[in-house]
Amino acid sequence: MSLGRVFFCFVFYHFFKTTHSVANGNNKEKLIVRNFDISAKGKFFSKPGSLLSNQTTKSTKECCFKCVQNKECLSVNTIALDQSRCQCELLNWAGTGFENQLVSKTNSRFMQMQTSCSPNPCQNGGQCTVKDRGTNYTCTCVGRTGRNCEEKCVLFDFESGRLEGWNLTGTAFNNQPTYGDNTLARGKPSANLKGKWFVGTFEDRPSPSHPAAGQQGNGPTGTATSPTFVIRGTKLRFLIGGESNINTERLELLIGGSVVAKATSTQSDHPMTMKSFDVTAYKGKEARVRLVDMSSGSWGLLNVDQIEDSYCSE
């Protein structure tokens, strides 16, 4: 990504604002400065529908100047023809992710006017495309959402190895999350975790340096309430396993402190399976999930992992 690297073509442009009446001789004159960044050398930008005009200018700078004068223009291709002439293409496109639209050509340059995409406001690998003549932008996000791709769709995957911001009661969740496939390490079926960590209230392996197969057993009970998040999509998905008993082992969705949905494991077993809640009615609302282990008896355990909002795959 070379945006914002080199300011090559500074254009000072006298702009005569003609909204004031000529009669009072009070035309406002503004000095507009436009910087162009070299986005690619030895290559030009080629995207159907982006070419505004094609002309010959004396210099690269003159080409930039033509661009500034054209209200639709956001970038230029210049191709040096000889010492005193260059082919100047005015383009209506600017943004990031242009690399796969470039064509190699000797003595050519693709330069973009500085816009609201430079520097790229889209986070987490999102691509920026300008709109409203460069004064605004839209982000195309990958696995994220929000205006600047700042919001996660994977809400809780426990991959930090800590229950950061979770509110615990009782003792069942004190040693959570669990590192690795600890049920498998105990000679039981795989927990079917995603990544390296999950929450398993029978397990006791709170770090890689704790021995595999460590267990706290069915005895501990308690709850773990997540930090708040905003519901974006139509579904809240999660992996859930352990005892199949909604009264004692469950995952709850809380809105404004009230339980609006709850789920338990499909069968009393360790492997987690994907379940989901339809959350269409709660779009835009703040929510939390609460994990509940209220049993000390046989199969009194809950496994949970990968709690995600479906928004990014809709």
Ligand X SMILES: *[C@@H]1O[C@H](CO)[C@@H](O)[C@H](O)[C@H]1NC(C)=O
| Residues that bind ligand X in the complex, under the rule CB under 6 A | 54, 56, 87, 136, 138, 167
Is 262 within 8 Å of 251 (Cβ atoms)?
Answer: yes
Report the residue number, 136 or 273, with the smaller CB distance to ligand X. Answer: 136
Q: How far apart, in Å, are the Cα atoms of 98 and each of 95, 144, 165, 173?
A: 7, 21, 39, 48
Site for Ca ion in 104-163 (CB under 5 A): 157-158
Beta carbon of residue 70, minimum distance to ligand X (angstroms, whole number)? 16
Asked if 48 contacts 103 with a C-beta cutoff of 8 angstroms, the reply is no
> Given the complex with ligand X, which of 167 and 280 has the nearer CB atom?
167
Q: Which does 204 bind (CB under 5 to 8 A by kind): Ca ion, ligand X, none?
A: none
Residue 60, contacted partner among ligand X, Ca ion, none, CB below 5-8 A by kind:
none
Tokens representing 45? 């930008």
2 φψ region: left (φ > 0), alpha (ψ -120 to 50), beta (else): alpha
- Is 249 a residue that touches Ca ion (CB under 5 A)? no
Residue 300 interacts with, from Ca ion, ligand X, none (CB under 5-8 Å by kind)? Ca ion
Q: Give the residue, chosen from 151, 243, 293, 308, that forms a contact with Ca ion under the rule CB under 5 A.
A: 293
Q: Which of 125, 165, 189, 195 binds Ca ion (CB under 5 A)?
A: 195
Q: How far is the CB of 194 from Ca ion (least distance, A)?
A: 5
Residue 30 beta carbon to ligand X: minimum distance, rounded to whole angstroms? 19
Distance of CA 223 to the CA centre of its chain: 30
User: Nearer Cβ to Ca ion, position 53 or 273?
Assistant: 273
Q: How far is the CB of 198 from Ca ion (least distance, A)?
A: 5
Query: Minimum CB separation from Ca ion for residue 239, in Å?
Result: 8
**297 near Ca ion (CB under 5 A):** no
CA 201 to each of CA 79, 218, 224, 285: distance values in angstroms, whole numbers, following the listed order? 66, 7, 11, 29
User: 53-67 in b/e burial notation, b at 16+ Cβ within 10 A?
Assistant: eeeebeebbbbbbbb
# residues contacting Ca ion (CB under 5 A): 9
Shortest approach of ligand X to residue 135 CB, angstroms?
6
Closer by beta carbon to ligand X, 163 or else 185: 163
Distance CA(217)–CA(200), nearest Å, equals 10
**Residue among 167 and 313 whose Cβ is closer to ligand X:** 167
C-beta closer to ligand X: residue 139 or 312 = 139
The yes or no reply on residue 194 touching Ca ion (CB under 5 A) is yes
The SS3 call for residue 101 is helix
Which of ligand X, Ca ion, none has residue 197 at its interface (CB below 5 to 8 Å by kind)? Ca ion
Token pair in block for residue 61: 């700078």
Closest to 313 (Cα-Cα) out of 259, 276, 282, 260: 276
242's CB contacts (< 8 A; 6+ apart) are 200, 201, 202, 249, 264, 265, 268, 269, 270, 293, 299, 301, 302, 303
What's the closest the beta carbon of residue 108 comes to ligand X, in angstroms? 12
Are the CB atoms for 159 and 149 separated by under 8 Å?
A: no
Distance in angstroms (rounded) separating the CA atoms of residues 123 and 140 = 10
Binding residues for Ca ion, per CB under 5 A? 157-158, 194-195, 197, 218, 293, 300, 305
